[in-house]
Structure 1
Amino acid sequence: MKTVVLHGRKVVGGVIEGEALVTTEMVSGWGGINPADGKIIDVRHELHGQSVKGKILVFPGAKGSSGWSSLFHYTRRNGNAPSGLIFNVMNTKAALGSVVIHAPAVTGLNQDPLEIIQSGDWVKIDADQGIVEVTKK
């Protein structure tokens, strides 16, 4: 198995590893995710029907209103949040959403994670060091 190492910036510290769930589309909180089960409910989204629960969510960034963070907060409270976040576009929604789910999160990687990571790859985030290790499936 091949392992790729990426370097970026910490958003929320910590270390976690797990299976990647990757989307090339921005993720919406309000109307985009169901906090009761962690499933993407936006019918136009490529991950529609898939759950973020326990996954390392790899995505371009957050879109929509400030409801993004509150929906992800409820997702965490219900035990259905992603275990880690890797994203490209830093904005207030993505930053606050990362904080409220209490999961290691990184951004600003030296390579585009959407070009390197595929759903099903095993990913370790060491957000404290800004390191992402990707073991290809």
Structure 2
Amino acid sequence: MSLCPFWGGVDPSTGEVMDRHYPLAGQRLGGAVLVLPSGRGSCSGSGVLLELILSGNAPAALVFSELEEILT
């Protein structure tokens, strides 16, 4: 598991992972179930998640193994 950087790492209009260092680089998150230890970054990640939802490109579910307060 690695951390998904929503802010700056995911295109909110397409759901494509743009962070080339992330294992899912080049793939789209729409409809996926992401299993992550926690989020990464500031509260702007939740804004990207909202944009993904509004564009219809959001993951189907986010599962965290650690307490997550920003993305949830």
Question: What displacement does 1:85 show?
Answer: 1.5
Unaligned runs of 5+ in 2: none
Q: Which residue does the alignment assign to 2:39?
A: 62
Q: Structure 1: how far apart are the matches of 2:11 and 2:69?
A: 21
**Length-normalised TM-score, structure 2:** 0.90
Q: Considering only aligned residues, what root-mean-square deviation do their CA atoms show, in Å?
A: 1.1
Distance between the aligned counterparts of 1:51 and 1:60, measured in 2? 20
Q: Greater CA radius of gyration, 1 or 2?
A: 1
Partner of residue 35 from structure 1, selected from 12, 21, 25: 12
What amino acid sits opposite 2:58 in the alignment? A
Structure 1 stretches (4+) deviating beyond 4 angstroms? Answer: none
Identity of aligned residues (%): 31
Q: Deviations over 1:92-118 (max 9, x none)?
A: 2132xxxxxxxxxxxxxxxxxxxxxxx
User: Which residue does 2:66 correspond to in 1?
Assistant: 89
**Contact map agreement 2:13 2:57 (CA 8 A) in 1:** yes
**1:53 paired to 2:30:** yes
Q: CA offset at residue 91 of structure 1?
A: 2.5
Higher strand share goes to which structure? 1
Within the alignment, does 1:80 sit opposite 2:57 as a pair? yes
